Amino acid sequence: MTEPVPQVRWRPTTAFVAATAAGVGLLALGVLAGRVDVALLGAGPVLAAAWSARRGSGPVHVSEELELAKNGAMTGEKLTASYRICAPGADHVRVRVSRSGSDPVEALVTLDDDGARTLTARTPSVRNGRQPLYEVDYVAVGPAAATTAPAGRREATEVVALPRPRRLPPLPLPFRLRGLTGAHASRRAGDGGELRDVHQFLPGDRLRRIDWRVTAKRAPDLSELYVRRDLALADAVVVIVLDSRDDVGPDAATWSGAVPPRPDEQTSLDIAREAAASLASAVIDAGDRVGLRDLADARRPVEPGTGRRHLDRLLWQLATTAPRGAAPDAVRAPQLPSGALVIVLSTFLDPHAATVAGQWRALGHRVVAIDTLPPLRAGGLTVRERIASRLVAIERTDRLVGLAALGVETFAWVPSGAVVGPGVGNSAPEVELLRLGYRSHGQPGRVGRR
């Protein structure tokens, strides 16, 4: 649908008015004094001003064209938009492109012969989810800066920026695998997995499973046959639980909501989206199934699935997640598939996420709690704010220690580009995931025995 082109009224500039007045004065003085040279000197500015005013009289319009992915979203690595500036009769246009969190860019754009020009704006963003794009302010100027059109503005279009997945090592597996197919060896007898044992041939065994080398070694006269028995293959079910009740930045002074966080800094929900996208991508690449739950909105679950289309759906669900405030009190934790690996992404600023994580662990699930609170910045806080943030940090530490005592594995997600500090809990996510795999199973990818 074509946007209507607004009609504008061009106005003369100060230079236009001064040149016209001077030209009219010289022309009148030349006529009254009988001086042809003075009259011709005044006629030039009058004719030039009239010609300029006639040229700069068309409508001014700016149209936008976005580079969207197949699902109608963008990536935070490259927020791109093209703007078509149409100003027939104008000589050039003064343009100012601005975006929250970035320095504005101003330019004097010379138009083509058809009175139009296409500009492309591109910038990376550390944020993801719904966010405004670019605001374009423009003023069309006629030839010789004689006339100008009224200043116009194109408001920023809201787009959805998908979180950027990070490449992760194989995730730790749940305590119990499910399904009849997959990429992991289970403890159940079957086909396709690792060697279980070598056993005498029994009724029901397939002939192709006979191990002739072992048979020739143990029974050269072929009085007994021996077959190789394998372990069955199975897949893992991973459920990512997102806590979208709040969205806080690294500055504790903005947690009350009176002051918005800076747009050039990642918030806790940005980190949670990045972590969930990275984990889901790693699960899909391993051939396992992954689902999504939201503690603040139980009406939008994504059931466990696999495949590229399922990953695209999950990424869109993550990108459109917004802070929803306090969640209703629940008597028990939401139901999850049995034997699933549960990954809880939360800031743990209140006990709700820690409570449900402990309940899932008590039900026998393997639970990993990931802290998504960004590194705090204490500079600029008042004494009262510093004391309050210190008390909140103590309560958070107690909750995480309590989860560890219940058997919940915890670590903090370090966002991309952040400086990794000392300590086990402040390592990169890749290191933490490898550590969980080695600590629980002796080597990554193995299923622990209960």
Residues 135 and 216 in one domain: no
Residues 417 and 359 in one domain: yes
Give the rounded percent of residues in the chain with a pLDDT score beyond 70: 75
Question: Quick one: 379 exposed, middle or buried, by C-beta within 10 A (0-12, 13-18, 19+)?
Answer: exposed
Averaged pLDDT score across all residues of the chain: 79
Distance CA 367, CA 403 (A): 10
Domain assignment present for 28: yes
Range with top average pLDDT, 18-32, 69-83, 321-335, 376-390: 376-390
Residues 131 and 250 in one domain: no
Residues 154 and 107 in one domain: yes
pLDDT (tens digit per residue) in 37-61: 667 776 766 666 666 655 555 678 7
Residues 157 and 117 in one domain: yes
Which of 234, 269, 288 lies at the terminal end of a domain, its last residue? 234
* pLDDT score of 161: 87
Predicted confidence (pLDDT) at residue 329 exceeds the cutoff of 90: no
Distance CA 191, CA 181 (A): 10
pLDDT (tens digit per residue) in 258-306: 777 887 888 999 999 999 999 999 999 888 889 999 888 777 788 998 8
pLDDT (tens digit per residue) in 89-127: 778 889 999 988 778 899 888 888 888 889 988 888 888
- The one-letter code for the residue type at 319 is A
Distance CA 273, CA 294 (A): 12
Domain assignment present for 82: yes
* pLDDT score of 47: 67
Predicted confidence (pLDDT) at residue 186 exceeds the cutoff of 60: no
Q: Is 332 helix (H, G, I), strand (E, B) or coil?
A: coil
pLDDT (tens digit per residue) in 118-162: 998 888 888 888 888 899 999 888 776 677 788 888 998 888 888
Cβ pair 323, 272 in contact under 8 A: no
Domain assignment present for 47: yes
* pLDDT score of 6: 56
> HSE (CB half, 13 Å, CA atoms) of 81?
24
Structural domain of 92: 61-161
* pLDDT score of 196: 60
Task: Say how many domains are in the chain.
Answer: 4
Domain assignment present for 287: yes
* pLDDT score of 202: 76
Cα 439 to chain center, whole Å?
A: 31
Distance CA 236, CA 286 (A): 9
Distance CA 175, CA 57 (A): 74
Residues 18 and 67 in one domain: no
Range with top average pLDDT, 76-85, 359-368, 424-433: 359-368
Domain assignment present for 228: yes
Residues 21 and 48 in one domain: yes
Parallel/antiparallel/unpaired status of strands 79-86 and 116-123: antiparallel
Predicted confidence (pLDDT) at residue 206 exceeds the cutoff of 90: no
Residues 88 and 218 in one domain: no
Q: Is 299 helix (H, G, I), strand (E, B) or coil?
A: coil
* pLDDT score of 87: 84
Domain assignment present for 179: no
CATH number at residue 328: 3.40.50
* pLDDT score of 272: 93
CATH number at residue 129: 2.60.40.10
Task: Kindly state the DSSP code that residue 252 receives in the 8-state scheme.
Answer: G
| Number of neighbouring beta carbons within 10 Å of residue 108 | 9
* pLDDT score of 205: 73
| Number of neighbouring beta carbons within 10 Å of residue 37 | 8
Q: Is the dihedral of CA 395, 401, 406, 408 positive or negative?
A: positive
Distance CA 369, CA 340 (A): 14
Predicted confidence (pLDDT) at residue 426 exceeds the cutoff of 60: no
* pLDDT score of 187: 60
* pLDDT score of 345: 95
Domain assignment present for 196: yes
Domain assignment present for 418: yes
* pLDDT score of 401: 93
Instruction: Please compute the mean of the pLDDT values over residues 353-382 and round it to a whole number.
Output: 89
Residues 247 and 100 in one domain: no
pLDDT (tens digit per residue) in 304-323: 988 899 999 999 999 888 88
Q: Is the dihedral of CA 141, 145, 151, 153 positive or negative?
A: positive
Answer with the residue of higher pLDDT: 397 or 197: 397
pLDDT (tens digit per residue) in 250-259: 888 888 777 7
* pLDDT score of 322: 83
Q: Which residue has the tokens 């093209």?
A: 82
- The one-letter code for the residue type at 105 is V
Residues 229 and 245 in one domain: no
* pLDDT score of 371: 94
> HSE (CB half, 13 Å, CA atoms) of 376?
17
Cβ pair 138, 95 in contact under 8 A: yes
* pLDDT score of 194: 59
Residues 223 and 246 in one domain: no
Choose the weakest-confidence range: 277-281, 316-320, 416-420, 434-438: 416-420
| Number of neighbouring beta carbons within 10 Å of residue 325 | 8
148 Rama sector, left if φ>0, alpha if ψ -120 to 50, beta otherwise: beta
* pLDDT score of 128: 87
Which of 214, 234, 254 lies at the terminal end of a domain, its last residue? 234
Cβ pair 290, 280 in contact under 8 A: yes
Banded model confidence at residue 450, pLDDT cuts 50, 70, 90: very low
Predicted confidence (pLDDT) at residue 332 exceeds the cutoff of 50: yes
Cβ pair 438, 164 in contact under 8 A: no
Q: Is 323 helix (H, G, I), strand (E, B) or coil?
A: coil
- The one-letter code for the residue type at 228 is R
Choose the weakest-confidence range: 30-39, 137-146, 355-364: 30-39
Distance CA 49, CA 19 (A): 7
CA nearest neighbour of 274 among 429, 419, 433, 132: 429
Residues 32 and 148 in one domain: no
* pLDDT score of 3: 55
Cβ pair 89, 58 in contact under 8 A: yes
Banded model confidence at residue 406, pLDDT cuts 50, 70, 90: very high
Predicted confidence (pLDDT) at residue 412 exceeds the cutoff of 70: yes
Predicted confidence (pLDDT) at residue 343 exceeds the cutoff of 90: yes
Task: Kindly state the DSSP code that residue 318 receives in the 8-state scheme.
Answer: H
Answer with the residue of higher pLDDT: 205 or 2: 205
* pLDDT score of 200: 73
Instruction: Please compute the mean of the pLDDT values over residues 55-68 and round it to a whole number.
Output: 74
- Phi, psi of 337, rounded to the nearest 5 degrees: -60, 145
Distance CA 254, CA 363 (A): 37
304: tokens are 């466990």
Contacts of 341 (CB under 8 A, 6+ apart): 171, 172, 173, 174, 236, 237, 238, 239, 365, 366, 368
Predicted confidence (pLDDT) at residue 239 exceeds the cutoff of 90: yes
Which of 180, 208, 234 lies at the terminal end of a domain, its last residue? 234
